[in-house]
Amino acid sequence: MSAETSLQFKKTHSEKTRLWVISELYYPEETSTGYYLTRIAEGLADDFDVKVLCGQPNYSVRGTTASKREKHNGVEIFRAAGTTLDKNVIIFRIINMLSLSTTIFFKAAFYFRRGDRVLVVTTPPLMPLIAAFASLLRGAGYTLLIHDNYPEILVAVNKIKKNSYFANAVDFCNRWLYKYAAKIIVVGRDMKELVERKSAGLDVPIVTIPNWAELESVAPMQKKDNLLLIQLGLNEKFVFLYAGNMGHPNDLESIVECAQKLLGESGIHFLFLGAGVKRPWLEKQVKDRLLTNITVLEPRPRSEQTDFLNACDTAFVSLVGKMYGVSMPSRTYNILAAGKPIIALAERESELARVIEEEMVGWVVPPGDPDALLSVIKIAVNSRHDLCQMGERARKSAEIKYSLEKALERYRIEI
């Protein structure tokens, strides 16, 4: 590179607007939030001078110690110190959140400068407040990316009461966050409706940008060729798959009740794959109830998604009640990419329900209603021809509506 070209490159680079991405999880973390924020940051690197403030890996690659500062795929990464205690223990999770948020605040206050743009994700919930304080202190503008709405998610999983002092305090903090935000990005239309109500009178722009399917790594596969099913001896059975987080917001209870009632149906099997606070409960239910029609597997890496997402005839995506406007399970899009029909346990008009019904790729069942779910399971088992058509529509919708390219187009416009 000539001196003139090098000078021009540096000049062009320096003229780019600086964009800070703030997230607890980032590369090499491949857990949902880490994956999505990594792809957003890298996808915007040609348009912005992208820098990331994050913590050390604590989920899918827990135990890995990444560099405190490095450049990866055009993005400069600054990793802040913080505890990495077991996230499934609530007090440890709180300690992790407080320690990481404190160090990220000091780094942000040091590095941010006037005119910078900041994109901060609402996981964990303290992170947006930290990013907002640092942004206002240094004259930067921040955009909120809402993956989960608080305090509503805590109400839905019965951790707090709707009108408790804590819930009201969180709502007060949210109003402050919304008031000074340059923009709010949500990942579902029901979430947009909820945030519009919560931010009424503040005149803050709210836009919906869905997450996307990993079309480059997830594709349909013939069931007869699926090695996982062959290894488990399930390739001749009608298999229902639950793959993903087994957390408080996920209705596993209804699925287990259906499995209990279908014990006598030797041609039907339930496959669970994932981790979370409800996994020990699930394993205990399988053991205590002698549920031989349920197999529970350890989580698999994202690189194996084509294998395990195709290890079924139909997939479950489940949420508990009171989750309208709170969250949109991102694994939905990869199930679409795998060309699999979906049974969604979700409230009507939620983003999950809208996607399933608009694309005609499955069924929607109210959470906490095992009888209704059992009826739909029986319909699915007896609708094999319809399942093929649903699978074709699922893949097509992923390609047309839910690609990384589509999402990045919107982020370039809205950031």
**Higher local confidence (pLDDT), 31 or 282:** 282
Q: What is the pLDDT of residues 279-319, one digit of tens each?
A: 999 999 999 999 999 999 999 999 999 999 999 999 999 99
The distance in angstroms from the start CA to the end CA of the chain is 32
Nearest in space to 387 (alpha carbons), one of 395, 124, 290: 395
Q: In whole angstroms, give the CA distance from residue 156 to residue 117.
A: 33
Mean pLDDT of the residues in the chain: 93
Q: What is the pLDDT of residues 185-242, one digit of tens each?
A: 999 999 999 999 999 999 999 999 999 999 999 999 999 999 999 999 999 999 999 9
Give the pLDDT confidence score for residue 61 in this predicted structure: 66
Domain boundaries, the chain: 11-212+403-414, 223-401
Give the pLDDT confidence score for residue 14 in this predicted structure: 57
Q: In whole angstroms, give the CA distance from residue 287 to residue 163.
A: 39
Q: In whole angstroms, give the CA distance from residue 36 to residue 51.
A: 15
Name the region of 362 (left: φ>0; alpha: ψ -120 to 50; beta: rest).
left
| pTM of this prediction exceeds 0.85 | yes
Res 347 pLDDT > 70? yes
Nearest in space to 373 (alpha carbons), one of 353, 391, 354, 346: 346
DSSP 279-332: HHHHHHHHHHTT-TTEEEE----GGGHHHHHTSSSEEEEE--TT-TTTB--THH
Give the pLDDT confidence score for residue 60 in this predicted structure: 65
Beta strands in 124-249 (DSSP E): 141-146, 183-186, 206-208, 238-243
Q: Does domain 11-212+403-414 have CATH number 3.40.50.2000?
A: yes
Q: In whole angstroms, give the CA distance from residue 148 to residue 37.
A: 14
Burial of 378 (0-12, 13-18, 19+ CB in 10 A): middle
Res 6 pLDDT > 50? no
Q: What is the pLDDT of residues 52-105, one digit of tens each?
A: 999 988 776 666 788 999 999 999 999 998 887 777 677 888 888 899 999 999
Q: Which amino acid, 268? A: I
Give the pLDDT confidence score for residue 20 in this predicted structure: 98
Domains 11-212+403-414 and 223-401 share a fold: yes
The CATH architecture annotation of domain 223-401 reads 3-Layer(aba) Sandwich (3.40)
Pairing of strands 69-72, 75-79: antiparallel
Q: What is the crossing angle of helices 165-180 and 127-138, to 10°? A: 40
Instruction: For residue 54, report the phi and psi dihedrals to the nearest 5 degrees.
Output: -150, 180
